Amino acid sequence: MVNRVQGHIQSRTVYYLMNIHVTPRSIYLCRHGESDLNLRGRIGGDSGLSVRGKQYAYALANFIQSQGISSLKVWTSHMKRTIQTAEALGVPYEQWKALNEIDAGVCEEMTYEEIQEHYPEEFALRDQDKYRYRYPKGE
């Protein structure tokens, strides 16, 4: 049952979950490992995993392996960090553009401090409503 789904991300997530086989199964949602840009406090971008991000990816692989999943399906975005995280699992994965991170527009690869300095009004607007906020020239 689905109720009150609003917004692009929520509707896409529901679409994927509703169109998967209807037999009982476990669904694991996980975030990619820490990226080089995450480490530097920068948003967006398409950087690879940091050392700690690679450690996370291998820990995730160990966990998934311990679950004994026979027909594991892995979906990633087209971003380097998600692909590197999936590759650590050692299983086939499928790339979905719809899973790409929302583009931060003019603020892409900036730190929050830089955004506050260069776009103070935008910084305040995002802080007031992160869920509905859209970066200038972003998604």
Which amino acids are annotated catalytic?
Answer: 32, 101
108 is in an annotated binding site: no
Short-list 45, 61, 49, CA closest to 93: 61
Q: Is 33 annotated as a binding residue?
A: yes
- Asked if residue 77 belongs to a known ligand binding site, the reply is no
Q: What angle do CA 131, 99, 89 make, to 5 degrees?
A: 125
**19 has binding-site annotation:** no
How many CB atoms sit inside 10 A of residue 106's CB?
14
How far, in Å, CA of 17 to CA of 5, rounded? 13
Is residue 37 marked as binding?
yes
> From the annotation, which residues make up the binding site?
31-38, 81
Q: Which residues carry a binding-site annotation for substrate?
A: 31-38, 81
